[in-house]
Amino acid sequence: MKAYQIDLSGKVAVVTGGAGVLCAEFSKALASCGASVAILNRTESKAEALAEEITSSGGMALGIDADVLKKESLEHARQIIQNKFGGCDILINGAGGNHPSGTTSKEYFELDDLNQTELTSFFDLDEEGIRYVFDINFMGTLLATQVFAKDMVKKQGCSIINISSMNAFTPLTKIPSYSAAKASVSNFTQWLAVHFSKAGVRVNAIAPGFFLTDQNRNLLVDKNEELTERAAKIISQTPMSRFGEKEELVGTLLYLSDPRASGFVTGIVIPVDGGFSAYSGV
């Protein structure tokens, strides 16, 4: 009996934020299974370098400069992809992130904080910073879907995979903007799954637990590569007692990408978190 394999040959995958630590791994994995991968990134040189790495290994990839908050930029990218590979079959909405101005200094508010100018309390959160975090996570997901799903609704077997977060289930302290934005992504995933259910497009999300990336490294480890106080709390609440490895997201990604593996799966958010969401702390 022949072993089952993920085969995405003939599929076109679009990955927003595609040159980031986690999404770069997604791009490589999709290409290794035969998909033609369009890597969208605000830093074109990073996208092109990753595309070159993939093509030099025998895959098909294209690096494109694109801003998920500008619809005209996404439409331009779509035209390039159509000319090179054809219409999108798999959309990974990976662009996102946090911003310091949407983050409080302390986990808990105390009355004296109102007089502490060196602290950022809830009342000091910057409106523009909050808006940026919400937009890059939620609006970037919505706009990219509006653009690329135009190709997907015209055929069967297509898949949209959004990137949510543990914060969508239970918000972490200090990062209200990011938590709210990721909760919106999870809710939008469910809404869109129902909306596209008659059009042959499945919509799901992955909710990573804690992985070391370029964005969060300074928050989780110090210059000696020792855990910070916040990171130690995270590990204490993660039953597997470690951070995830980027490769450990790939199986879930490929499962949701392949209609033969998950053809009756839509509207779900899958935690990949080492047990963090299952642990009560007791």
Closest residue by Cα to residue 261 from 157, 191, 190: 157
* C-beta separation of 60 from 37 below 8 A: yes
Q: How far apart are CA 282 and CA 280, in angstroms?
A: 5
Q: Tell me which residue has tokens 């995270």.
A: 234
- State yes or no: is 178 an active-site residue: yes
Question: Quick one: tokens of 221?
Answer: 């480890």
Residues 6+ apart with CB under 8 A from 183: 167, 168, 171
Q: Which entry of 4, 132, 178, 255 is annotated as an active-site residue?
A: 178
Crossing angle of the two packed helices 176-195 and 127-134, in degrees rounded to 10: 30
Q: Encoding tokens for residue 240?
A: 């597997």
The two three-digit tokens of residue 192, written as one number: 């869109």
Instruction: List the one residue out of 120, 121, 192, 123 whose CA is nearest residue 161.
Output: 192
The catalytic residue positions are 178
